[in-house]
Protein backbone atom coordinates (compact mmCIF):
# COMPACT_ATOMS: atom_id res chain seq x y z
CA UNK A 1 0.00 0.00 0.00
CA UNK A 2 1.45 3.42 -0.94
CA UNK A 3 2.01 5.95 1.82
CA UNK A 4 -0.33 8.54 0.25
CA UNK A 5 -3.18 6.04 -0.01
CA UNK A 6 -2.54 4.91 3.55
CA UNK A 7 -2.69 8.49 4.83
CA UNK A 8 -5.96 9.06 2.98
CA UNK A 9 -7.52 5.99 4.57
CA UNK A 10 -6.22 6.99 7.99
CA UNK A 11 -7.67 10.49 7.72
CA UNK A 12 -11.04 9.00 6.79
CA UNK A 13 -10.90 6.76 9.85
CA UNK A 14 -10.03 9.70 12.10
CA UNK A 15 -12.92 11.74 10.75
CA UNK A 16 -15.33 8.86 11.41
CA UNK A 17 -13.99 8.47 14.94
CA UNK A 18 -14.36 12.18 15.65
CA UNK A 19 -18.00 12.11 14.58
CA UNK A 20 -18.75 9.28 17.00
CA UNK A 21 -16.57 10.33 19.92
CA UNK A 22 -19.31 12.23 21.74
CA UNK A 23 -21.63 9.26 21.46
CA UNK A 24 -18.97 6.99 22.91
CA UNK A 25 -18.54 9.38 25.83
CA UNK A 26 -22.21 8.90 26.71
CA UNK A 27 -21.65 5.22 27.53
CA UNK A 28 -22.63 4.64 31.15
CA UNK A 29 -19.76 3.61 33.40
CA UNK A 30 -20.44 3.01 37.09
CA UNK A 31 -18.84 5.16 39.78
CA UNK A 32 -17.17 2.02 41.07
CA UNK A 33 -15.25 1.75 37.80
CA UNK A 34 -14.22 5.37 37.31
CA UNK A 35 -12.43 7.57 39.82
CA UNK A 36 -12.39 11.28 39.01
CA UNK A 37 -12.23 13.67 41.94
CA UNK A 38 -12.19 17.44 41.66
CA UNK A 39 -8.40 17.44 41.92
CA UNK A 40 -8.13 14.83 39.15
CA UNK A 41 -10.21 16.95 36.78
CA UNK A 42 -7.77 19.86 37.09
CA UNK A 43 -4.35 19.11 35.59
CA UNK A 44 -1.34 19.69 37.79
CA UNK A 45 0.46 23.02 37.36
CA UNK A 46 3.62 21.74 39.03
CA UNK A 47 5.57 20.93 35.88
CA UNK A 48 6.67 23.35 33.15
CA UNK A 49 5.16 22.86 29.71
CA UNK A 50 7.05 21.26 26.89
CA UNK A 51 8.75 23.97 24.81
CA UNK A 52 6.58 22.93 21.86
CA UNK A 53 3.68 20.55 21.26
CA UNK A 54 5.09 17.24 20.04
CA UNK A 55 3.76 13.85 18.93
CA UNK A 56 5.41 10.55 17.99
CA UNK A 57 8.51 11.18 20.09
CA UNK A 58 10.69 9.11 22.39
CA UNK A 59 10.56 9.51 26.17
CA UNK A 60 11.69 7.78 29.34
CA UNK A 61 12.30 8.37 33.05
CA UNK A 62 15.66 7.62 34.64
CA UNK A 63 17.05 8.47 38.09
CA UNK A 64 14.42 11.13 38.75
CA UNK A 65 14.71 12.81 35.34
CA UNK A 66 12.26 12.88 32.44
CA UNK A 67 13.87 12.71 28.99
CA UNK A 68 12.27 13.39 25.60
CA UNK A 69 13.74 13.15 22.11
CA UNK A 70 12.55 14.30 18.69
CA UNK A 71 9.00 14.04 17.42
CA UNK A 72 6.66 15.69 14.95
CA UNK A 73 5.83 19.36 15.49
CA UNK A 74 4.25 20.35 12.17
CA UNK A 75 0.84 19.75 10.64
CA UNK A 76 -0.54 16.23 11.04
CA UNK A 77 0.55 13.86 8.25
CA UNK A 78 2.67 16.59 6.63
CA UNK A 79 6.28 15.66 7.21
CA UNK A 80 9.39 17.64 6.35
CA UNK A 81 12.83 18.44 7.71
CA UNK A 82 11.43 21.61 9.28
CA UNK A 83 8.53 19.84 11.03
CA UNK A 84 10.67 17.21 12.76
CA UNK A 85 12.56 17.79 15.98
CA UNK A 86 16.07 16.77 16.94
CA UNK A 87 15.81 18.20 20.45
CA UNK A 88 16.91 16.07 23.39
CA UNK A 89 15.39 17.51 26.57
CA UNK A 90 15.56 16.71 30.26
CA UNK A 91 13.38 17.76 33.20
CA UNK A 92 14.30 17.23 36.85
CA UNK A 93 11.11 15.70 38.27
CA UNK A 94 12.19 16.38 41.86
CA UNK A 95 12.85 20.06 41.18
CA UNK A 96 10.96 20.79 37.94
CA UNK A 97 12.00 24.36 37.23
CA UNK A 98 12.76 24.22 33.51
CA UNK A 99 13.61 21.94 30.61
CA UNK A 100 17.31 21.55 29.87
CA UNK A 101 18.60 21.02 26.33
CA UNK A 102 21.08 18.14 26.00
CA UNK A 103 23.39 17.06 23.14
CA UNK A 104 21.28 16.27 20.10
CA UNK A 105 21.39 13.91 17.14
CA UNK A 106 19.35 13.27 13.98
CA UNK A 107 15.86 14.60 13.42
CA UNK A 108 13.52 11.73 14.23
CA UNK A 109 9.94 10.78 14.89
CA UNK A 110 8.29 7.41 15.38
CA UNK A 111 11.26 6.35 17.50
CA UNK A 112 11.47 4.49 20.81
CA UNK A 113 13.48 5.44 23.87
CA UNK A 114 14.03 3.45 27.07
CA UNK A 115 16.15 3.73 30.20
CA UNK A 116 18.14 1.02 31.93
CA UNK A 117 20.80 1.10 34.62
CA UNK A 118 21.30 4.86 34.30
CA UNK A 119 21.67 4.86 30.51
CA UNK A 120 19.26 6.16 27.84
CA UNK A 121 18.73 4.04 24.71
CA UNK A 122 17.39 5.69 21.53
CA UNK A 123 16.16 3.33 18.80
CA UNK A 124 15.03 3.69 15.20
CA UNK A 125 12.47 6.22 14.01
CA UNK A 126 12.23 7.93 10.64
CA UNK A 127 13.66 11.08 9.11
CA UNK A 128 11.94 13.26 6.52
CA UNK A 129 14.40 14.05 3.74
CA UNK A 130 12.06 16.46 1.94
CA UNK A 131 11.51 20.17 2.49
CA UNK A 132 8.12 21.62 3.44
CA UNK A 133 5.67 21.33 0.54
CA UNK A 134 7.71 18.74 -1.35
CA UNK A 135 6.64 15.16 -1.94
CA UNK A 136 7.32 12.99 1.08
CA UNK A 137 10.71 11.29 1.16
CA UNK A 138 10.61 9.38 4.44
CA UNK A 139 13.38 7.10 5.62
CA UNK A 140 13.09 4.66 8.52
CA UNK A 141 16.37 4.13 10.33
CA UNK A 142 18.32 1.37 12.03
CA UNK A 143 20.16 3.71 14.39
CA UNK A 144 20.64 2.77 18.03
CA UNK A 145 22.45 5.21 20.31
CA UNK A 146 23.16 5.28 24.04
CA UNK A 147 23.34 8.43 26.14
CA UNK A 148 25.30 8.40 29.38
CA UNK A 149 24.20 11.32 31.61
CA UNK A 150 27.48 11.11 33.53
CA UNK A 151 29.47 11.67 30.34
CA UNK A 152 26.96 13.93 28.61
CA UNK A 153 27.21 12.49 25.12
CA UNK A 154 25.77 9.86 22.78
CA UNK A 155 27.62 6.82 21.51
CA UNK A 156 26.55 4.53 18.71
CA UNK A 157 25.42 0.98 19.48
CA UNK A 158 24.65 -2.09 17.38
CA UNK A 159 21.99 -1.01 14.85
CA UNK A 160 18.58 -2.63 14.61
CA UNK A 161 18.56 -5.58 12.18
CA UNK A 162 16.20 -3.65 9.88
CA UNK A 163 15.03 -0.04 9.51
CA UNK A 164 12.06 0.49 11.84
CA UNK A 165 9.75 3.34 12.82
CA UNK A 166 6.28 3.68 14.37
CA UNK A 167 7.12 0.92 16.84
CA UNK A 168 7.91 0.65 20.53
CA UNK A 169 10.48 -0.87 22.86
CA UNK A 170 10.58 -1.96 26.49
CA UNK A 171 13.06 -3.39 29.00
CA UNK A 172 12.15 -6.56 30.88
CA UNK A 173 14.56 -8.35 33.23
CA UNK A 174 17.57 -6.60 31.74
CA UNK A 175 16.64 -7.34 28.14
CA UNK A 176 15.55 -4.84 25.51
CA UNK A 177 12.56 -5.87 23.36
CA UNK A 178 11.45 -4.30 20.08
CA UNK A 179 8.17 -5.01 18.26
CA UNK A 180 5.74 -3.44 15.81
CA UNK A 181 6.43 -0.83 13.18
CA UNK A 182 7.29 -0.60 9.52
CA UNK A 183 10.11 0.31 7.14
CA UNK A 184 9.57 3.42 5.01
CA UNK A 185 12.08 4.31 2.30
CA UNK A 186 11.96 7.05 -0.36
CA UNK A 187 10.12 6.11 -3.56
CA UNK A 188 9.05 2.72 -2.16
CA UNK A 189 5.97 1.21 -0.57
CA UNK A 190 6.06 0.83 3.20
CA UNK A 191 7.15 -2.59 4.39
CA UNK A 192 5.27 -3.65 7.53
CA UNK A 193 7.36 -5.69 9.96
CA UNK A 194 6.37 -9.19 11.03
CA UNK A 195 9.48 -9.50 13.21
CA UNK A 196 10.43 -8.77 16.81
CA UNK A 197 13.86 -8.62 18.44
CA UNK A 198 15.58 -8.79 21.81
CA UNK A 199 19.04 -7.76 23.06
CA UNK A 200 20.63 -8.56 26.41
CA UNK A 201 21.67 -5.28 28.03
CA UNK A 202 24.06 -7.03 30.41
CA UNK A 203 26.40 -7.80 27.53
CA UNK A 204 29.16 -5.42 26.57
CA UNK A 205 27.81 -5.04 23.04
CA UNK A 206 24.21 -5.29 21.91
CA UNK A 207 23.47 -8.48 20.01
CA UNK A 208 20.02 -8.60 18.44
CA UNK A 209 18.29 -11.97 18.47
CA UNK A 210 15.01 -12.72 16.74
CA UNK A 211 11.89 -13.67 18.67
CA UNK A 212 9.33 -16.16 17.34
CA UNK A 213 7.29 -14.57 14.54
CA UNK A 214 4.63 -12.34 16.13
CA UNK A 215 1.00 -13.29 15.36
CA UNK A 216 0.33 -9.69 14.28
CA UNK A 217 1.56 -7.02 11.88
CA UNK A 218 0.95 -3.63 13.47
CA UNK A 219 2.48 -0.20 13.98
CA UNK A 220 1.66 2.71 16.35
CA UNK A 221 1.67 0.22 19.23
CA UNK A 222 2.57 0.56 22.91
CA UNK A 223 4.86 -1.94 24.63
CA UNK A 224 4.85 -2.59 28.36
CA UNK A 225 6.63 -5.00 30.69
CA UNK A 226 4.19 -6.63 33.11
CA UNK A 227 4.00 -9.87 35.08
CA UNK A 228 7.24 -11.12 33.53
CA UNK A 229 5.91 -10.69 29.99
CA UNK A 230 6.05 -8.20 27.13
CA UNK A 231 2.67 -6.72 26.21
CA UNK A 232 2.05 -5.27 22.73
CA UNK A 233 -1.01 -3.05 22.96
CA UNK A 234 -3.25 -1.65 20.23
CA UNK A 235 -1.95 -0.02 17.08
CA UNK A 236 -2.74 0.08 13.38
CA UNK A 237 -2.90 -3.13 11.36
CA UNK A 238 -1.35 -3.58 7.94
CA UNK A 239 -4.83 -4.66 6.86
CA UNK A 240 -8.02 -3.77 8.69
CA UNK A 241 -7.16 -0.39 10.19
CA UNK A 242 -6.85 0.45 13.90
CA UNK A 243 -7.25 -2.28 16.49
CA UNK A 244 -7.72 -2.78 20.22
CA UNK A 245 -5.88 -6.12 20.05
CA UNK A 246 -3.32 -7.05 22.68
CA UNK A 247 -0.61 -9.67 22.24
CA UNK A 248 1.70 -11.04 24.92
CA UNK A 249 5.18 -12.53 24.66
CA UNK A 250 6.32 -14.87 27.45
CA UNK A 251 10.13 -15.14 27.56
CA UNK A 252 9.95 -18.20 29.80
CA UNK A 253 8.30 -20.39 27.17
CA UNK A 254 9.40 -18.26 24.19
CA UNK A 255 5.88 -17.95 22.81
CA UNK A 256 3.17 -15.46 21.93
CA UNK A 257 -0.42 -15.47 23.16
CA UNK A 258 -3.52 -13.32 22.79
CA UNK A 259 -4.34 -10.88 25.57
CA UNK A 260 -7.63 -9.12 26.42
CA UNK A 261 -8.48 -6.39 23.93
CA UNK A 262 -8.71 -2.81 25.16
CA UNK A 263 -11.98 -1.33 26.38
CA UNK A 264 -14.06 0.66 23.89
CA UNK A 265 -16.62 0.31 21.13
CA UNK A 266 -14.46 1.78 18.37
CA UNK A 267 -11.33 0.13 17.06
CA UNK A 268 -9.58 3.52 16.91
CA UNK A 269 -9.46 3.38 20.72
CA UNK A 270 -6.27 1.35 20.27
CA UNK A 271 -4.48 3.77 17.91
CA UNK A 272 -1.37 5.44 19.34
CA UNK A 273 -1.83 4.42 23.01
CA UNK A 274 0.65 4.56 25.88
CA UNK A 275 1.11 1.91 28.56
CA UNK A 276 3.04 1.15 31.74
CA UNK A 277 2.94 -1.28 34.66
CA UNK A 278 2.84 0.29 38.12
CA UNK A 279 2.22 -1.18 41.57
CA UNK A 280 1.52 -4.60 40.11
CA UNK A 281 -1.12 -3.48 37.60
CA UNK A 282 -0.94 -2.77 33.87
CA UNK A 283 -2.38 0.55 32.69
CA UNK A 284 -3.00 2.10 29.27
CA UNK A 285 -4.18 5.53 28.17
CA UNK A 286 -6.04 5.86 24.90
CA UNK A 287 -7.34 8.36 22.38
CA UNK A 288 -10.67 8.85 24.21
CA UNK A 289 -8.96 9.96 27.42
CA UNK A 290 -9.59 6.77 29.37
CA UNK A 291 -7.09 5.35 31.83
CA UNK A 292 -7.63 1.61 31.52
CA UNK A 293 -6.40 -1.04 33.94
CA UNK A 294 -6.02 -4.71 33.09
CA UNK A 295 -8.39 -6.88 35.11
CA UNK A 296 -6.60 -10.22 35.30
CA UNK A 297 -9.51 -11.96 37.03
CA UNK A 298 -12.09 -11.11 34.37
CA UNK A 299 -9.70 -10.95 31.42
CA UNK A 300 -10.87 -7.43 30.54
CA UNK A 301 -9.76 -3.81 30.79
CA UNK A 302 -11.55 -1.56 33.29
CA UNK A 303 -11.89 2.20 32.84
CA UNK A 304 -10.61 3.58 36.15
CA UNK A 305 -10.14 7.26 35.40
CA UNK A 306 -11.07 9.99 32.92
CA UNK A 307 -8.27 12.29 31.82
CA UNK A 308 -8.67 16.03 31.49
CA UNK A 309 -6.78 15.99 28.19
CA UNK A 310 -7.37 12.93 26.01
CA UNK A 311 -4.15 12.13 24.17
CA UNK A 312 -2.75 9.80 21.56
CA UNK A 313 0.77 9.44 20.20
CA UNK A 314 1.90 10.53 23.67
CA UNK A 315 3.89 8.94 26.48
CA UNK A 316 2.71 7.87 29.93
CA UNK A 317 5.58 7.32 32.36
CA UNK A 318 5.92 6.66 36.09
CA UNK A 319 6.19 9.80 38.21
CA UNK A 320 6.33 7.89 41.51
CA UNK A 321 4.83 4.74 43.04
CA UNK A 322 1.31 6.17 42.94
CA UNK A 323 1.08 8.28 39.80
CA UNK A 324 1.96 8.66 36.14
CA UNK A 325 2.92 11.70 34.13
CA UNK A 326 1.42 12.19 30.66
CA UNK A 327 3.72 13.91 28.17
CA UNK A 328 3.12 15.29 24.68
CA UNK A 329 0.71 13.83 22.18
CA UNK A 330 -2.50 15.49 21.10
CA UNK A 331 -6.16 15.13 20.30
CA UNK A 332 -8.22 15.66 17.18
CA UNK A 333 -10.20 18.39 18.92
CA UNK A 334 -7.39 20.40 20.54
CA UNK A 335 -4.26 19.61 18.57
CA UNK A 336 -0.93 19.01 20.29
CA UNK A 337 -0.43 19.49 24.01
CA UNK A 338 2.48 21.17 25.73
CA UNK A 339 1.05 20.60 29.22
CA UNK A 340 2.23 17.74 31.41
CA UNK A 341 -0.56 16.07 33.37
CA UNK A 342 -0.23 14.05 36.55
CA UNK A 343 -2.38 10.90 36.58
CA UNK A 344 -2.84 9.53 40.11
CA UNK A 345 -3.62 5.86 40.49
CA UNK A 346 -7.24 5.18 41.44
What is the helix (H) or strand (E) element at residue 325, kind and residue range? strand 323-327
Using CB atoms within 10 Å of the CB of residue 343, give its burial: 0 to 12 exposed, 13 to 18 middle, 19+ buried.
buried
**What is the C-alpha to C-alpha distance for residues 36 and 43, in angstroms, rounded to an integer?**
12
23, pLDDT greater than 80? no
**DSSP assignment letter at 222:** E
| Structure confidence by residue, pLDDT tens digits, 53-102 | 999 999 999 999 999 999 999 888 789 999 999 999 999 999 999 999 99
The confidence score (pLDDT) of residue 11 equals 45
Q: How confident is the model at residue 46 (pLDDT cuts 50, 70, 90)?
A: confident
The confidence score (pLDDT) of residue 203 equals 92
141, pLDDT greater than 60? yes
Q: Give the class (CATH, top level) of 3-344.
A: mainly beta
Q: What is the mean pLDDT of residues 266-270?
A: 97
213 or 5: whose pLDDT is higher? 213
Beta bridge partners of 229: 226
Tell which residue, 3, 13, 174, has the closest CA to residue 79: 3
| Structure confidence by residue, pLDDT tens digits, 232-263 | 999 999 999 999 999 999 999 999 999 999 99
299, 248 Cβ separation under 8 angstroms: no
User: What's the pTM?
Assistant: 0.89
Give residue limits of the domains in the chain. 3-344
Q: What is the mean pLDDT of residues 27-46?
A: 40
Q: How confident is the model at residue 39 (pLDDT cuts 50, 70, 90)?
A: very low
57, 70 Cβ separation under 8 angstroms: yes
Exposure string (b/e) for 146-165, b if CB count within 10 Å is 16 or more?
A: bbebeeeebeebebbeebbb
**What is the C-alpha to C-alpha distance for residues 221 and 216, in angstroms, rounded to an integer?**
11
Q: How confident is the model at residue 204 (pLDDT cuts 50, 70, 90)?
A: confident
157, pLDDT greater than 60? yes
What is the three-class DSSP state of 89?
strand
**What is the C-alpha to C-alpha distance for residues 29 and 251, in angstroms, rounded to an integer?**
36
Q: In what order do the strands lie in the sheet with 323-327?
A: 315-320, 323-327, 341-344
Q: How confident is the model at residue 9 (pLDDT cuts 50, 70, 90)?
A: very low
**DSSP letters along 253-306, please?**
TTEEEEEPPPS-SSGGGGSS-EEEEETTEEEEE-TTSEEEEEETTTTEEEEEEE
Average pLDDT, the chain: 90
**What is the C-alpha to C-alpha distance for residues 74 and 85, in angstroms, rounded to an integer?**
9
Amino acid sequence: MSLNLYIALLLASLALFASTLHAAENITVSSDDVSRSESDAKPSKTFPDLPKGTTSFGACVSDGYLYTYGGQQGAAHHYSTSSQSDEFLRLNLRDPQEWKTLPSGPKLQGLAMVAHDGLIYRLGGFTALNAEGEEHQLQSRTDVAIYDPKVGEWREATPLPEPRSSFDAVVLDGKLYVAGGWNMQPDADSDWHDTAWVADLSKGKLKWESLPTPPFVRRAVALAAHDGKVWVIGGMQSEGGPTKDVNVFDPHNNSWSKGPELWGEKSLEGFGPAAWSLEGSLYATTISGKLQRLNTEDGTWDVVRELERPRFFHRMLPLDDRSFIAVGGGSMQDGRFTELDVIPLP
